[in-house]
Structure 1
């Protein structure tokens, strides 16, 4: 039978035994502030409401939102909203975030987490396996990229479960990981400068850093940094990218 593709590319977790495993991994405590992203048909929500927590749930699909609104009435703080436009700062709380994230906007949601990481206690989400490998890649790995660096500056990533595509409906083409993301201690860096350096470095991945960066500054003058500028973008560590960011900020007297 051909499955009609839904407007927002949602897939729903349908294995109740797996959902129970996921709930156990989250280790929910009384009075937790939890934000569920994309509650869909409520398969995860029905377990969350059993706890004495402050539950906020957001869903972009109006029909799914109305269904859950009727089912749970005033038991949950429900929002029919796009998560990317949802400002969690207004609640002045640190949220535990849970969800089965849409594959087609995974990168945008990760950038959303980075933006609001000071308002996040921890994150438990399902993501496409290949995308997790990308955000969790170490330098030297061919998957190491701009999004790897931006994510790992802010979060530690732990893979908790390997999830087969057969646990979802409609069945997607790829498998997933259930991961935990824990905010790291805040470190200062100039976001605009780091983004500029990463954009230039990864624009042509096969170029060595020295050649990529020569339009910004002559790296031969900065051997004291103990960075091998003959490396390609994927071979430079996050620590060294931050060194370059701080150096350029000083040079520009920002």
Structure 2
């Protein structure tokens, strides 16, 4: 590649470019893209995964924020008929303008730590369009996504993502796979939106509110942390023990609390 197309990773975008061929191959094998599928890559960087995704014959849209990377990506892939480049911020992107069929869009991304959580929530608001998502994230974020009740990793992120998706922690990736190497380990996660929610809430926004309040002070009991929303009698009516801490409750119990709040309104 000519000097004109060299690019240094930029700290403000949280860029760490994947360069390990073995890791790239393993990610592509996990995604297993096929001809005719609709793929969306968020933050393609210098195109480490892009090349393999396009090689599958799938139709690929990419979203890249860094203007300096646009000519590099156009130079590498712009002549391919199954490649389309969208310059912009994935956090503000309207995924519906891709005209994907329901449950068809396969989303891929090596996500910077600073936007990973808000971006996952933004994508979940379009869950009806998405077939699956494969993300490279900080390992501790993947552990929170895949957590089970009872441990310190179980919290708002685990519950709200598992409400919408099945979560699979696929494998870990060390810092040496990137340039520059990050200071943390990374991991690949697969999120598959449920076609039928296992624990549907009457009001998902109310569930979000209950979970946020519960974990604001995660060391306190539910009776204390939810007292602005539900009194002890309402918590008991939802079939939940108010003396438990929030991390001891599973998703179904939080849905029952949220439905109770919908039925009774906040405690005064």
Specify the TM-score bucket, using the shorter chain as the normaliser.
Answer: over 0.9
Matched, 1:80 2:93: no
Of 142, 146, 154, the match for 2:156: 146
Q: State the match for 2:73 in structure 1.
A: 68
Distance (Å, rounded) in 2 between the aligned partners of 1:50 and 1:177: 24
Q: State the match for 1:115 in structure 2.
A: 125
8 A Cα contact 1:60 1:82, kept in partner: yes
Q: State the match for 2:5 in structure 1.
A: none
Give the superposition deviation at 1:70: 2.5
Distance (Å, rounded) in 1 between the aligned partners of 2:9 and 2:145: 31
Distance (Å, rounded) in 2 between the aligned partners of 1:221 and 1:121: 37
Q: State the match for 2:220 in structure 1.
A: 207
Q: State the match for 2:113 in structure 1.
A: 103
Q: State the match for 1:26 in structure 2.
A: 31
Distance (Å, rounded) in 1 between the aligned partners of 2:205 and 2:228: 17
8 A Cα contact 1:92 1:119, kept in partner: no
Select between 173-182 and 197-206 the one with higher mean Cα deviation: 197-206
Of 7, 11, 17, the match for 2:16: 11
Matched, 1:252 2:265: yes
Distance (Å, rounded) in 1 between the aligned partners of 2:66 and 2:60: 19
CA RMSD of aligned residues (A): 1.8
Q: State the match for 1:179 in structure 2.
A: 189
What stretches of structure 1 of length at least 5 have no aligned partner?
none
Q: State the match for 1:92 in structure 2.
A: 99
Distance (Å, rounded) in 2 between the aligned partners of 1:143 and 1:78: 36
| TM-score where L is the length of structure 1 | 0.92
Cα deviation, 1:119-155, whole Å, max 9, x if unaligned, reads 1100111111011111221111112111111111011
Distance (Å, rounded) in 1 between the aligned partners of 2:262 and 2:246: 20
Cα deviation, 1:152-176, whole Å, max 9, x if unaligned, reads 1011111222111110010000111
SS at match of 1:227: coil
Distance (Å, rounded) in 2 between the aligned partners of 1:246 and 1:104: 32
* Aligned residues between the structures: 251
Give the superposition deviation at 1:4: 7.2
Give the superposition deviation at 1:117: 1.1
SS at match of 1:147: helix
8 A Cα contact 1:65 1:79, kept in partner: no
8 A Cα contact 2:105 2:131, kept in partner: yes
Distance (Å, rounded) in 2 between the aligned partners of 1:221 and 1:143: 27
Give the superposition deviation at 1:115: 1.3
Q: State the match for 1:39 in structure 2.
A: 44
| TM-score where L is the length of structure 2 | 0.88
